[in-house]
Amino acid sequence: MYPTFLHLFTELDLSFRSDEEPVDPKKELEDRCKAPCTRPLKEYQACAKRIQGDESGHKHCTGQYFDYWRCVDKCVATKLFSYLK
């Protein structure tokens, strides 16, 4: 039998106390993890500069953008779960 959503909610104790604001550690970890990912960021910025004058809309830097965020996410993933209950 599969657990219901309510069962998972109570099992994981996801309730918040009224005197505490929940803090998302992911934002802080992302800021820390941006430094090691400068190479993909520079590649994205170089691509954005190259296509800045494109009026056709056919050129894009989607691959470089996702490469940068993949690097950041990979770094965050190794640290994030130590912050969670």
Tell me the pLDDT tens digit for each residue of 25-43: 899 999 999 999 999 999 9
b/e for 11-45, b at 16 or more Cβ within 10 A?
eeeeeeeeeeeeeeebeebbeebeeebeebbebbe
- pTM, two decimal places: 0.68
pLDDT beneath 70: ranges in the chain: 1-18, 85
Instruction: Specify the pLDDT at position 67.
Output: 98
Instruction: Specify the pLDDT at position 17.
Output: 56
